[in-house]
Structure formats: C-alpha cells, structure tokens
Amino acid sequence: MTLSALFIAHGSPMMALENNEYTRFLERLGQELPTPKGIAVFSAHWDDADQRMTGDQQHQTMHDFYGFPEEMYQLTYPAPGSAELTARISACFEAGNLHAKTVTGRGLDHGAWVVLKKMYPAADIPVIALSVDSKRSPKEQYDIGAMLSELRQEGILIIGSGGLVHNLRMIHESEEPDNWAVEFDEWIAEQLASWNLPSLFNYDKKAPHARHAVPSYGMEHFVPLFYAMGAADNGRKAKRLFQSYQYGSLSLNCWSFE
C-alpha cells in the first residue's frame, strides 16, 4: 500500500469545532483514504533550526492559542506515538545525513491535532510530529521531505500542515476571497501541475502577491508544502483536492502528492 503525501491547510484552531464545507471534506478524506499504519506530520507550529520529532508513547494535546472559547481548551486528541516509527524516521534522516533530535513531553500542537481530529477522530493511529525550519531554503525543505519518501510505500501517511496564504494581519470578515489571495494560490497550482521546482523554489520572487501571501513573519505556514512535496519526489504528481477561503484571504486547501 503506497499512500499519497498531503499538504493540508489547518486554518484557524476553531476548525476543530466548526462544521463547514472544509471540515466535512477532511472528515470524508479520512474515511476515503486507505487507513495508514502511522502518520508523520510536519507542522507549521513547530519551527526549529534543528530537525525534531516526537518520541512519546502517548501524546498530550497542546492548546497553543489564546482568546478562544473555553470549549476549545477542553478538546483533546490522545493519539499514540510509536517507538518503531520514530526509529524508522530517524534512520531515514540519518541516511540523508540529517541528525534528528527526539523530543518527549511536548504533545501535539494545533497544527497537527486539529487536522487529525477531523480526519481520524478515534485518535487510534500512531502519530509522529515533525518540526519544520522556515529559515532553510525551499530546496533543503524539499530534500528533507524526500528522505521520508520510501515510508509512503510502507503505509505511512506524510502530511505537511500549514497554509499557502496565511497572513493574519490581512484577514477580514468577508464571504468572498480577495483577488490577490486567489491569484497567488492559482500561480502555485500552475507550478504544481508541472512540478516546476525552479519556479516554486523561487516563489518569493516569481509568484504574484508573494509578500502578502507569505509574509516574512509567517513563512513557517508555507514551508510544509515543500516537505510534503519532497515526500513524493519519487512520483512528482500533484492533485488539488480542495480549495476555499475564510476571512477574505485565509486559504483552506488540500493537495495530494504521489
């Protein structure tokens, strides 16, 4: 069983409580995909210069946000970890000359658990959370993802969780998406259709409205795209599964790579 890698926009933490077109899509996606043996999630909310990954037998739930309804802080996602999968991922990184540090006691941040709670609400699939490094070059991020590509053939679901257009300073109440956000997303879609790595790796110079879509203070939300793409370097086929917007420009999209 070979699984596609996924890039999933995790949107607002409120998505954990929401019932809308996007959350219903994620619920269906979890039901339609072959059940993975394990899940490895590169989360935008774990940005670190060192490659890190979780090593817990049982995950705590991080409520790494503030100002939300009390109900949000009562939600949990007690997914198990897997010493075997942690060791397997570590071996893949070591083979690529990347030393990864195993961390215990951190828990799953909302970039990981909010998405997984919609897709796999039973929380019964082993999960390993992985950090990203927004200061690395896109090629380095892609290459790190590629180190895990063989895991897809072993039934491991690799997810990059972030947001292609994620600029919280530009969101506003609107049911219609801002043109600039749509233009950026469509440019990304065009490059993904042909797996145009030279253009994608230079998106900050080539893509329209790149500074709005990926602000300097929010790059960590964009870079999980490259980690997820790299995990499908041996196939290089992209398919957009979903696209919508909240708050004018907050892009809610899901891409499949195989």
Name residue 229's amino acid: M
Tell me what pLDDT residue 175 has.
85
Tell me what pLDDT residue 210 has.
98
Question: Is the pLDDT score of 1 beyond 90?
Answer: no
Tell me what pLDDT residue 255 has.
98
Instruction: Round to the nearest angstrom and report the end-to-end CA distance of the chain.
Output: 12
145-154 pLDDT per residue, tens: 999 999 999 9
Cα angle 161-125-127, degrees, rounded to a multiple of 5: 45
Helices (H) and strands (E) in the chain, counts: 9, 8
50-62 pLDDT per residue, tens: 999 999 999 999 9
169-182 pLDDT per residue, tens: 999 999 899 999 99
Q: Would you call 243 helix, strand, or coil by DSSP?
A: strand
Question: Is the pLDDT score of 28 beyond 90?
Answer: yes
The one-character DSSP state at 110 is H
CB 140 within 8 A of CB 119: no
| Exposure string for 79-110, b = 16+ CB within 10 A, e = fewer | bebbeebbebbbebbeeeeeebeebeebbbbb
219-258 pLDDT per residue, tens: 999 999 999 999 999 999 999 999 999 999 999 999 999 9
Range 77-89 average pLDDT: 98
Tell me what pLDDT residue 21 has.
98
Name residue 102's amino acid: T
Question: Is the pLDDT score of 204 beyond 90?
Answer: yes
- Alpha-carbon Rg of the chain, whole angstroms? 17
107-144 pLDDT per residue, tens: 999 999 999 999 999 999 999 999 999 999 999 999 99
The CA distance from 132 to 136, in Å, is 9
| φ/ψ of residue 40, rounded to 5 | -115, 120
What domains are there in the chain, each with its CATH number? 5-257 (3.40.830.10)
Q: Which long-range contacts (C-beta less than 8 Å, at least 24 apart) are formed by 207-211? A: 208/180, 208/183, 208/184, 209/180, 209/181, 209/183, 209/184, 210/184
122 Cβ contact list (under 8 Å, min separation 6): none
Percent of the chain topping pLDDT 90: 99
Range 198-222 average pLDDT: 97
pLDDT band at 90 (very low <50, low <70, confident <90, very high): very high
> Encoding tokens for residue 182?
């749509």
Average predicted confidence (pLDDT) for the chain: 97
Tell me what pLDDT residue 145 has.
98
